[in-house]
Chain A
Amino acid sequence: MTGAPGPTVPAVAPDNAAAAFKAWLRRLVTDTAELEAFDAGEIDAVMDRHSVSALLLPEAQTALHDSSRIVLSAFDALPGEVCVLDAKGIVVMTSKAWRVSGVAHARAGLDVRTGENFFAACLDAPQNERAHADAVAVGLRKILAGAQRSLRVKYACPSPRGRSLFTLTMAATSVQGPVNALLTREWHGEPKQKVRRVAPTARVEAENRLLAALPAKDYAQLASGLEPVTITYGEVLYEPGEPMRDVYFPGNCLVSILTPVDGNRALEVGLVGREGMIGASLAMGAARSSVRALVQGTGIAMKMNARRFLREFRRSQALQRVLLHFTDRLMVQISQTAACNRFHLVEARLARSLLMTAERMRSSEFHLTHEFLAAMLGVRRVGVTVAAVALQRRGFIQYRRGNITILDAQGLETACCPCYRHLQVMNA
């Protein structure tokens, strides 16, 4: 694209970072044949001896970025339930259908997500599925070891509608690289289909406690307006002052409620997971959000259009009751957090925050960057580092590049401020 005339460094003043980076990369190329190919736009990457890495040209970077987005969205559009594994059995990607069905059958241990180890998920399977899960693990080992091309395992599991049967097909891929096995799930018709919309247990699909608390009739009326969506870490659902177009009932995801202070700074005042909803203030008459709702843990939530939600809220007394109860508990949490932020030390607050996150995510491993934690606790990044190091030194947590593992939950609880226990008692 540059079309530089000679082998000397181009005198073009780089008008943006990409051009500057490309000009810098060109300087690393010494050989004439390589320079010709570089100037003809036929090069994707230049090797760097110092960092022992391949430095991609800006054009290659954007192309790779775009192509991975295309692949991901095409994969999501597949009608089947598909999961891709690497050589160690780690889930590389899953189709949307896989994720939705996984959440619906989370109790059966089918909610295996990207980054998780499939073998570990087999080990975690409920007792009554042990035999099936073991058969899957054994089969998968054979596939990954190259001893078998493909294998089908019939699997029975409890489902929202009784007991369901599906076939799990495991196949080795011929592609060399990060993809080693392909799993597909085919369901063999769920029993008692006639109760599909009214089934009281169908609300388990949402895994959201507010929805689960509704009587079957009320839930059935609400269900047609609910749409499962995946919300991802860092996504902003509401901005302060902006209209709330949809409401969300978190399933296995976690949303942080932040109050803007001045300019860019914000402080976390509440944390909402499967026990609550985002957008409850619509029911209290607010049309615009007063807070920022920021996704803190990726997962599935049930989404509903704001207008439909208001209609349902007016119609269903049960929904009104459930929501008022939740709003009351959220207010308790917000006021407790406000007092906690004023009086307690960062380390104790960090411990509380981590325990609350783990509880709502139902996982002792999650991802939270320093920036995120700093915003949550209203302190500087350095403050977070010091507190995290202290908790790590005491053996309560492990913190690596934003990946947090709670090693000793009981220990961590001793490091918490009393607010954690207080909130637990209030929410019980």
Chain B
Amino acid sequence: MAGKRKKVAVKEAVTTVVVMRLYIAGRAPNSVKAIANLEAICRQHLKDSYKLEIVDVCEHPRRALDDGILVTPSLAKLSPTPSAHVIGNLSDTSSVLAALGVQQAPAK
């Protein structure tokens, strides 16, 4: 409990576990790029403090539709709130970081 409070107090991205879900379409080019881009971003900015689930919409179309996904690749940040969405191959690192709530780089 005490540890948890500490984490909130530090306010560093590294200490908060970011939970994400990436919707992709098999090994299609943008999907492959999205996975690579996201993994690079996570390695650099989130270290080990993230959880990523990859959902292949070709195999689980019902699940994607239930989650309100319309196009892929599509990244959903589920926690911490507020939740956010990024559409596309995630090549724009700054918009991905903004959506994930990582304030490491002084973008603005």
Binding site for B on A (CB under 8 A): 28-31, 33-34, 36-38, 40-47, 49, 52-54, 56, 59-60, 63-64, 67, 177
Contact = CB atoms under 8 A, between A and B. Distances in A.
A29 B71 contact: yes
Contacts of B87: 33-34, 36-37, 42-43
Nearest to B56: A177
A29 B29 contact: no
A43 B71 contact: yes
Contacts of A46: 70-71
Given A29-B71, A34-B70, A37-B71, A44 B61 contact: no
Which are the 7 A-B pairs with shortest beta-carbon distances? Answer: A42-B88, A44-B28, A60-B28, A45-B25, A37-B88, A44-B25, A54-B57
A44 B72 contact: yes
A33 B88 CA distance: 9
A56 B24 CA distance: 11
A31 B28 contact: no
Contacts of B73: 42-44
A38 B71 contact: yes
B69 interface: yes
B6 interface: no
Contacts of A177: 56, 59
A43 B24 CA distance: 10
Contacts of B58: 45, 54, 56
B28 to A, nearest CB: 4
Contact of B61 (A31, A43, A47, A63): A47
Interface of B: 24-31, 56-59, 61-62, 64-65, 69-73, 85, 87-89, 91
Nearest to B26: A64
Main secondary structure on chain A at its contact with chain B? Answer: mixed
Contacts of A59: 29
22 contacts: A33-B87, A36-B87, A37-B88, A42-B73, A42-B88, A43-B72, A43-B87, A44-B25, A44-B72, A45-B25, A47-B65, A52-B61, A52-B65, A54-B25, A54-B57, A54-B58, A54-B64, A54-B72, A60-B25, A60-B29, A63-B29, A177-B59
A318 B93 CA distance: 73
A64 B27 contact: yes
A222 to B, nearest CB: 44
Contacts of A56: 25, 28, 58
- Choose among B25, B69, B73 the residue with the greatest number of A CB atoms under 10 Å from its CB: B25
A28 B59 CA distance: 20
A54 B60 CA distance: 9
B25 A29 contact: no
Contact of A47 (B27, B28, B59, B70): B70
B30 A44 contact: yes
A52 B62 contact: yes
